[in-house]
Structure 1
């Protein structure tokens, strides 16, 4: 079989693969940037299209002249090149025209850039702090604070050996357990920073991409004109679980937003009250399983077996079968020089007591129960 025949067959095979590939993938494939649902985002998209059309027209014109010249003035037709050293007229033309184009682009671009940086007079202010690998959100005007983790379905599906087909998980790796909620047609200021390494808060539909840098606070804002759920991701390579750090923003009507604020404050009050009472073992185990899946399973695995050489096993481990004081200390304060984070700033006393109890009573472990009062005393 000749080389040309092999090449033709390979090309035909590749075409068939492309044409018969997943319809959803082809349907979602887009060449253009997404149109934003925010005021400034629409202006950014408009600038993008303006520049795109300008460079398209310029490109067609330049290459059209080149192609025309190649055919019209080729040597085979007897064309003879003109002999000249320079042309002042030509130099003025190819200097003035690009300058005019740049000025025409710079004027609207500067206006939009000034709007992007003007985060004053915000109706809602949210501080977004990046952690490896989750986001903490604090509503500075409402005294609301919570952590947003990868949702449990995605987290389970992405674990090695889970047996879950990721195609069956809605919004795989783009959903969270607690999205942030903001009102429609209100100016929302986002303050981004980081607790550990550089992250980036990026939501394409909202027209925002802002770095979260340890020790610094960067400002950005958006004003969504449409209700809906908008998804994004951390856009910096922030470590091994970088791909599992999504962002979800729910834009709702003003009344729904106020109801959500009231619910969050009630939940916060209930959590504080829960830290002051004694929990039954069943209550601790039920709550502890939820907290474990959201915060611990990614490293120590759902079955508690960990990853040999990287994350220690909790099933039958020295920590989970030893003293409660040592277990509480590690979970509260983390362990220096390892990937074990300090969960004291992240979880309340009741959640910490629940997850510690769950680890001490699961996978064949049968150690003592930990109460919220024990965690409170160890802080």
Structure 2
């Protein structure tokens, strides 16, 4: 299970500056909901002094994404445009007391949103690194440019670090060879520039991708999940006063006992037909609706396209700063109910 600082938890459960900023004159949007992370940063800049007087955000993603986005708005408020541009993703992570290595890409997204917002303020067209170079990771749409910049800015020297900061290689790992080539090439250049030592530079073939994938598997099983039943049950009814519940992470599922080779194996669960899948999804969502309605919100199924489930949030859920948590909870509940990976997208 990942270890989050108290400050990360606070900025997740009590995010600062969430929502739309009226009169914003600097807006930056990065990421994509289809890839699991998206951020819209809105700034109000004084044209005379170029001081950022106010900052707000809207984000879709995990708790680290919400905390990083909220932290970014706190960091840049009161700074000039020039001072804000000097910030790095590491500054965001440091402000929060650190982020788990696997979640550093959330701070990178905040850095990119800030760059995009400043470009928007200046009337420039911002070109992110995702549009530079060849596509390396098809699973998460990561191009060569974003990998190069992450390596240089954060002095990365292993493929695993590249995955933590950019998500590249976090899926099927068929892009491992491409990641290796970029990492080795950029590290060699960094050695020449005196940024890292020759001993620290990565050498192609020094990491076995099979070992890296095997190492990642248990982490995925221990990934902290949003327990939607616990969260919803702990939330007070509309208008009721209650102290906020402390942050709690779901305990990891116990491992199944080893099965003897001579023991009969359990038959695989029958594959659901499309109709059965839709009915199961509808039933799972119906079970969550009473909790959402208690707070004046609602969620309904719109469509099912393969493994993508489209839902519509309404009422108090629209524009709620915890909407991404609700979506994550719906996804976890559906996966638990159906036993297959699904992607939940709000429409």
Q: TM-score, normalised by structure 1?
A: 0.21
Q: In terms of Rg, which structure is larger? A: 1
